[in-house]
Structure 1
């Protein structure tokens, strides 16, 4: 379980509290600049904050960086390395420490890499330079690398996967891969926290949703209960409608 208690980051994020269970997917939604990335930075332990964040009862402020890296993985918004690497080299950098410089258990590593690259549809990119990839290809490589840090067969202590707007550079087909992948990671017992802009994907794939506006928590709960027309209209300052058919519910503006 991830427990956040009275978390505040100066004036960018006012005190808020919530908790997410193991195996659940939480989507954080709200307009640009509302504090989503600030919240994720704080939960990941890379940004200063007031309050408390615990992972399975452990206060992350009391964990070393090495221990924290074993507990959680964080995909920040896109950036490329400053030096050239082939994709397989970039992936290797994200393996848990025990597997990074060892020839032991190579079958486990190879199996994990094969599985994640297949799920992200990048098996044919392993010997490409990271500077030769399109935006969507690079994002899928980053997703695969981040996942390897907390991959269940490689890291039994992993608890949390944090993704900041992971769908932004992806096309419609690639977004489908992403949300299936997130669902699979949650099924392995990880808590997954995602900053997201696609409200229909949140409605379909999230177990819980946290709505933030101007650094303030305005709602938290099950998407179908808190994502009402009125709440979303107030959140985004634009008219939002929810259309229900026999097969699906769709949010439109």
Structure 2
């Protein structure tokens, strides 16, 4: 379990409390500047709250050595630039203790066609898929045991529709075996389909923490995102979320 109690960061987060348990697939939503990235950095132990406390597996997060956290939790930040002139395969080996790319990642992220290409010759979406693979490989032994904390900041940014769905299906499978997942993004329909819980941020506060049907409502989304929201149901009873000004 990961637990946060009344954590705050000056000018960024205010009095946020939450719990994350094994097999959770949480989608973190909210407008730009609402505190999503700050919250992920706090949960990763990269920064400390000005107030409040965090626990991971019953132990204060601040008591973990960096090396301990590095094999138990991973964080993919929004922007990551390689300073090395490496191929994709070399980069994955360099950053991931020379572990080979697991078949499930290679297939789900569709990386094999460009393993031998330099990173700086990839499209933005291809680079994003490599970043996701590199992040997950960092803690792959813990993932296989169902004991990892996976934190991803806007992983679907730059991905086409097919790869967005393939990524979400992969992450849900990793959650099903016991791993804890939190991913931020702005795709309401992906959250509707793939999240088992949604954390909704607004102006540095956690304003909702519940199943998608309870959080993704027209009134709440319209208030938080300052635009009109309409939810329609198709012939197969799937809810589709439309936004407009």
**Range of TM-score over shorter length:** over 0.9
On the 8 A contact 1:4/1:53 being kept in 2, the answer is: yes
Change (3 A) 1:80 1:177: same
Instruction: Please give the alpha-carbon distance, in whole angstroms, between the structure 2 residues aligned to 1:153 and 1:164.
Output: 20
Q: What is the CA-CA distance between 1:93 and the residue it aligns to?
A: 2.9
Aligned residues: 241
Instruction: Please give the alpha-carbon distance, in whole angstroms, between the structure 2 residues aligned to 1:115 and 1:252.
Output: 33
User: Runs of 5+ in structure 2 lacking a partner?
Assistant: none
Instruction: Please give the alpha-carbon distance, in whole angstroms, between the structure 2 residues aligned to 1:218 and 1:119.
Output: 33
Q: Tell me what 2:54 maps to.
A: 53
- 2:168 aligned with 1:167: no
Q: Tell me what 2:93 maps to.
A: 92
TM-score (norm 1): 0.90
Q: What is the CA-CA distance between 1:130 and the residue it aligns to?
A: 0.8
Q: Tell me what 1:26 maps to.
A: 26
1:16-58 CA distances to partner (integer Å, 9 max, x unpaired)? Answer: 1111211111111111111111111111111231322222212
On the 8 A contact 1:23/1:191 being kept in 2, the answer is: yes
- 2:165 aligned with 1:176: yes
SS at 1:174's partner residue? helix
Instruction: Please give the alpha-carbon distance, in whole angstroms, between the structure 1 residues aligned to 2:113 and 2:57.
Output: 38
Alignment of 1:196-235 (within 5 A): 196-235=185-224
Coordinate RMSD, CA, aligned: 1.7
Instruction: Please give the alpha-carbon distance, in whole angstroms, between the structure 2 residues aligned to 1:170 and 1:157.
Output: 26
TM-score (norm 2): 0.93
Instruction: Please give the alpha-carbon distance, in whole angstroms, between the structure 2 residues aligned to 1:39 and 1:91.
Output: 27
User: Runs of 5+ in structure 1 lacking a partner?
Assistant: 102-108
Instruction: Please give the alpha-carbon distance, in whole angstroms, between the structure 1 residues aligned to 2:108 and 2:215.
Output: 32
Instruction: Please give the alpha-carbon distance, in whole angstroms, between the structure 2 residues aligned to 1:114 and 1:234.
Output: 43
Change (3 A) 1:35 1:178: same
- 2:242 aligned with 1:252: yes
